[in-house]
Amino acid sequence: MQVPFVDLSAQYQSIKSEIDDAIKSVISDTAFIGGKHVKNFEDQFASLYGVKHVISCANGTDSLYIIMKMLGIGKGDEVITAANSWISSSETISQTGATPVFVDVHPEYYSLDEDKLEGIINSSTKALIAVHLQGQVCELDKIKAICDKHGIYLIEDCAQSHFSEYKGKRAGLFGIAASFSFYPGKNLGAYGDAGCIITDNDELAKKCIMYARHGALKKHHHEMEGINSRLDGLQAAILSAKLPHILNWTNKRIENARTYDNCLKQINEIVIPTRREKTKHTYHLYVIRASKRDQLIEYLNLQGVETAIHYPKALPNLQAYNYLGYKPSDFPVASRHQEELVSLPMYPELTKYMIGYVANSINDFYSKYA
């Protein structure tokens, strides 16, 4: 049996006619850049999130960068981000001219450890990026209180946490602005690169729109220099076609995670994911900690089960950050996790049978090699 890590084709097949119609209408309208499909998606996403402004952009890296740049963050400033994440969560800080400062992750919840924040905030700290890793939201009440106390901006990186919730409220609605990625493999994925910013702040929204559109709100009226970061019509129409299904797909992920939990909880050599209390974890990734991880991955691969590591190196341990002079022991949890974490296949269309097969394969591995 083959169990792929993700299966974007299964999702396409389930809504093929809706996607095909959406693509055809963009082409027949020749609304390739801007236009009604982009506007429709922005409006629909705004109403789903109950937020005033959705600013679509080219990807979920640009959206983070644009937020920080338009908050005036730059040279001499520091921005705190999680020690384990995709590099967008830190490279965008550097892109503004500011310095990324990493905070270790929580040993059980994997997203950033709020108890380690106070020690690294100083007078240069301008913002904190709460990365809701894997679909697991950060401890937002505490984080928000810390940000308010020190007068620093809270920015949420929701690239892995579409429709996750903290105490009944969606992640993305807690800070000054939030960044979303619609990379194809994300919980809400386009058929190419795409992303957006959400915010209730009118002034920031206006600046972000302007900056992402060459510094002009009206064609040829460039109030400043900006960048070109646009969502294209095809991607917008595809995203709109997916929106009516997204909450159902999110629930399927959660159900799949429960099935995994039940099948895996008796295996002593692994630790299944734990959820923060009063949160909705949306399982962009279903991540376990495994002893003999690399051998397990190899064994699963031979059984036809595809896995992935998120991430093989914690951000501060990457060559790109050698210049900051960190040691792995500065981030003991993230550095340990890079040796232990493995992400199992996870997507809405995954069947109980496939999950059972993955679980049995893991069981077999440890009964043979433990």
Distance in Å, CB of 160 to ligand PLP, minimum? 5
| Residue 125: count of CB within 10 angstroms of its CB | 21
Rounded to whole angstroms, the maximal C-alpha distance in the chain is 69
Burial of 85 (0-12, 13-18, 19+ CB in 10 A): buried
Residue placing its CB nearer to ligand PLP in the complex, 181 or 361 = 181
Q: Shortest Cβ distance from residue 212 to ligand PLP (Å)?
A: 14
| Nearest residue to 308 (alpha-carbon basis) of 296, 320, 316 | 296
Residues 115 and 159 sit within 8 Å (Cβ to Cβ): no
CA atoms of 160 and 343, how far apart (whole Å): 13
Cβ 158 to ligand PLP shortest distance, Å: 8
In the complex with ligand PLP, the residue whose CB is nearer, 212 or 263, is: 212
Which of 74, 77, 100 minimizes the C-alpha distance to 88? 100
Tell me whether residue 236 or residue 354 sits nearer to ligand PLP (CB atom): 236
Residues in contact with ligand PLP by CB under 6 A are: 59-61, 85-86, 88-89, 131, 157, 159-160, 181, 183, 193, 195
Closer by beta carbon to ligand PLP, 181 or else 256: 181
Closest residue to ligand PLP, Cβ-based?
Answer: 60
| Nearer residue to ligand PLP within complex by CB, 69 or 361 | 69
Closest separation in Å from C-beta 183 to ligand PLP: 4
- Tokens at 184, concatenated: 């194809």
Q: Least distance in Å: CB of 90 to ligand PLP? A: 9
Residue 60 or 348: the one with the smaller Cβ distance to ligand PLP is: 60
Q: Which of 136, 110, 171, 178 is nearest to 282 (CA)?
A: 136
As measured in angstroms, the least distance from the Cβ of 43 to ligand PLP is 21
Separation of alpha carbons 43 and 141, rounded Å: 28
Helix (H) or strand (E) holding 203: helix 202-212
